[in-house]
Structure 1
Amino acid sequence: GANKITIGTNGTVNAYTPGQVEPQQLGDITLVDFINHSGLQPIGGNLFVETVASGNPVQGTPGENGLGVIKQGMLENSNVDIVEEMVNMITTQRAYEMNSKVVSTADQMLQYITQNL
């Protein structure tokens, strides 16, 4: 059996076995892209399916034609800026509070008009 498996940035999967100097190529990992990423339909678990709006998948080699490269042993970190999201949340909360006060004031005005007419 293989004692080491590597994946190149271009998607080539190689296995190193005891007694062999050169690795044995097991296969290739390909990537796909879509014309309209927003048209993909989320199905949960960070999975998406193609739709008419997304267009057909375009298969390609990692690192070519604008496709990303593959990095073995790497994990993607969160791409959310926590400070920016907290500021957005506070801004949204304040806007909600102001809108709530407007509705409450309008209701009080209608009650006053109804009672005094």
Structure 2
Amino acid sequence: MGNWTRSKRMLLIAAGGGLLLFLYVVYEQPGQMRTSTASMIIVTEKQHSSDYRTSWVMAYDPNSPNRQMFKIVVKDPIIWNLIEKDREYFASYFKKGNEDYHFHQLQYSKDNDALR
């Protein structure tokens, strides 16, 4: 870049910044608020779609006064297979806008040796 002028460098920087902004808008959907939660949950149901492409659990926070059931999508089938009904877990999960929750982390609540 030895013989590039300052204006060419600024144009390159602006184009790179524009590309980053475009990627952010496309992939992060900034108009939708992202909500993250960490809590104890008790899994009451395990379900999947008829084509097995989507799986989820129904759970509630036992420490919440209203104990409202909610759906958490499980992307990894190995994780879904390891989840047990009527068991308490510590979980962190998130959602964007009005979408369903997705797991970020899941740990059996009594497992002190689990990797984090």
Q: Which has the higher strand share?
A: 2
Larger-Rg structure: 1
Structures share a fold, TM > 0.5? Answer: no
**TM-score grouping bracket, smaller chain normalisation:** under 0.3
TM-score of the two chains, using structure 2 as the length reference: 0.22
